[in-house]
Structure formats: C-alpha cells, structure tokens
Structure 1
Amino acid sequence: MTHLDAYRPTDDLSGVPGPPLPVLTGRWRARAADPGRDLSLVHRWMQSPHVAAFWHQAWPRERWAEELRTQLAGVHSLPVLVDLDGDPVMYLEVYRAARDVVAGVYPARPHDIGLHVAVGELGMTDRGLVRSLLPELADALFAADPRCTRVLLEPDVRNRRAISSFTAGGFAPVGEVLLPDKVALLMVRSR
C-alpha cells in the first residue's frame, strides 16, 4: 500500500487555478467538452447502463447542459472529451481534489488533481484504452501543473473493470474511503 502523508491544506485555495486541460500526443487528443457541440454525446453516454451504474448521472439532457456549463465556468472541475484517432471515446472530469468532496477523506494538497473516467461506448470497453491512456494523461497533467504532485482516481469498489484498468495504467490503490454516493478505492499516481 502506498503511503499518503497527512498533509492537510490550510492555505486559501483562491490562488489555485482550475484544473488544467491535459495536452495529449500521438493518437490521443483532449478537449474541453462544449455544451453546444458535445451535449448529445455526453448525455447519451451517461444514459448507457455500463456508465450509469457507477456514475449515477443518467440525468435529463437539460441537466447535463447545465452541468457542463457550470463546470466550464468554475474552478472545481473541467469536463473533457478524449479522442482516439479523431473519434471521441472517453469522457473525463478533471478536478481539483482539494475543492472536492474527496478532500474530506483524502489528505488533498492544493494542486492535487482527481479524475473521473468513463468509456462512453460499451463496445469500446475491455480494449485497453484506459490503461494505455492513463500514463500519458497523468504525465500531461503533471506537465500542465508543475505544482501538482499527485493524480488520483476514486472508483467504486464494485467496479472491478475500472480498478483493473487503473492499476494497469500506473495507479496504486491506497485504501477504501467512504464517499457520499459510494465506497471508493482511492488510487494514486505520484509525480
């Protein structure tokens, strides 16, 4: 088990920018989700049973439109679509852990970055996409914010597919935590 130090931020987070957009290379590209262009896709993916089972956000289209606008206007979370060879395959939420509910159960440093990851199409799961993206994604986040020392994931403990992919992608499990909507396995990759 990886040790997490007991650092608790006491600094005012007002000087910490919102989460960065990772710059990916090769076959991967990341872009902020655009409510005008991407709403139908994000909404459809969130309705998919394999995503809805763990995200619990099979919301109406209007609520997703508001969610994307709210995230884009704030400093807590950034909605991101990841393309592979020009086709969107994943929805991410890149968030500042110190501004998230996870900070209540995790010793978040001000610049720590968290990720929520969803492979939108069921037919694209179990192809190694997540495990091949995660090392580059974590490196891109570290490059985008030199003060970030840890990237974390907190999948539902029942989501064995995600946990396996995250482990293969270089994230180490550090323990179970209780969040408002799930028991999660906290997984971390350090700089």
Structure 2
Amino acid sequence: MTFAIRTLDPLKDAELVHGWVTHPKAAFWLMGDATLPDVEREYMSIAAAGHHDAFIGERDGVPAFLMERYDPRYVELVGLYEPEPGDIGMHFLVAPTDTPEHGFTRAVITAVMAHLFTDPAVERVVVEPDVRNKAVHALNEAVGFVPDREIAKPEKTALLSFCTRAQFEAATAKGKEVRV
C-alpha cells in the first residue's frame, strides 16, 4: 500500500474534512456537532499555529485520512507530562467508508508513524486517546505504543502513551511494508 501525505488546505479541504470529523464513527474526534465554518476555523487556526500542523493522507490520489502533528510542549499536553527532547504528538482519523478494508486502518497508522519518524529530530511519538477508545488502543499497541498512565484533560480522560523509534521499528518489522 502506498500513501502520500500533504499539508491540509483549510479552505480547500474543509468540506471533505467536515464530513469526516462529524461522522458518527469519528465520535472520539469530538467535533460531531461542528459546522463547516467551525471546521474551517479550526484548521485555519492549526495552519496559523507555530506548533501544530494538519495533513491529508491520500491513497492512490484519493483522500483517505487526516493526520495532525503537534509539539506537546505547547499544544494538547502542556502541564500534563514532562516532554522529552524529540517528542512529537499525533492524532489521526481514517475517512469513514461503507466498504471497510481489513487492515487499512493499521496501514494508515503505520504510514503516519513512518512519516513522523522521517524527521530525524523525532525520537518519540506521544498520543492521548480517550480511555474508552479501545480500537485505537489496539492499533497503537500494534505499532509499538506503550501506555504510561491515564491523564485528565478538559475534554476527556486520556491514555497517555509513548512510542520510540526503536519500538515502532520492532513492532512493524514483522508486518507488511507501507510506503509513504
């Protein structure tokens, strides 16, 4: 499977992303009631931020997932843990579909992680999914994440988890190669 990852254009991509983040399967994205202008504002804010970026992942030229990368020293986790040099935060959301493909979401998270680790400054990826999101916990574990502890965020109780470059490489060495 080959993916391409490009920077999200807040105006051009807002309608597409709106359909993804408001879909019932994206409940943990916490934007279920967002309007199109809400989504435009959110991603314009991310685009303007110095420590937060959003991307669209494409499979064969077709948008297939959303990825966000953030610096946990300034976004999402400020005061909730002690960041280490080389830490980067990540969120991902696979586009909803009526025809799910076995293994696709795991291929997406593997591609997201591979993309993040192309930056030599990144030593460890940090995630903070909702503690109730068991499906994403299993995916995180499959690519090498190790849960650390539950943390209280304003919008959720989250499972703070970490994945080093070595943990990712060990976890995915046995799996199929995903090219980005």
Q: Residues 135 and 32 from structure 1, CA distance in 2 versus in 1: closer, same or farther, beyond 3 angstroms?
A: same
1:137 aligned residue (112, 131, 156): 112
Could you say which residue in structure 2 is the equivalent of 1:86?
61
Q: Is the 8 A contact 2:65 2:108 kept in 1?
A: no
CA distance in 1, matches of 2:81, 2:103: 28
Could you say which residue in structure 1 is the equivalent of 2:15?
40
Q: CA deviation at 1:140?
A: 2.7
Identity over aligned pairs, percent: 32
2:151 aligned residue (177, 184, 189): 177
CA distance in 2, matches of 1:157, 1:125: 24
After superposition, the CA RMSD in angstroms is 1.9
Could you say which residue in structure 1 is the equivalent of 2:46?
71
State yes or no: 1:150 paired with 2:124.
yes
Q: Residues 54 and 120 from structure 1, CA distance in 2 versus in 1: closer, same or farther, beyond 3 angstroms?
A: same
How many pairs does the alignment contain?
A: 164
State yes or no: 1:159 paired with 2:95.
no
More helix by share: 1
CA distance in 2, matches of 1:46, 1:60: 10
Q: CA deviation at 1:31?
A: 0.8
- What's the CA shift string for 1:15-35, capped at 9, x where partnerless? xxxxxxxxxxx6111111112
Moved over 4 A (4+): none
TM-score (normalizing by structure 1) = 0.77
Q: Which has the higher contact order (CA 8 A, sep 6+)?
A: 1
Q: Is the 8 A contact 1:96 1:110 kept in 2?
A: no
- What's the CA shift string for 1:80-124, capped at 9, x where partnerless? 111122221111111111112313222113541111111121446
Q: Identify unmatched segments of 5+ residues in structure 1.
A: 1-25
Q: CA deviation at 1:135?
A: 3.5
CA distance in 2, matches of 1:190, 1:184: 19
Q: Identify unmatched segments of 5+ residues in structure 2.
A: 166-180
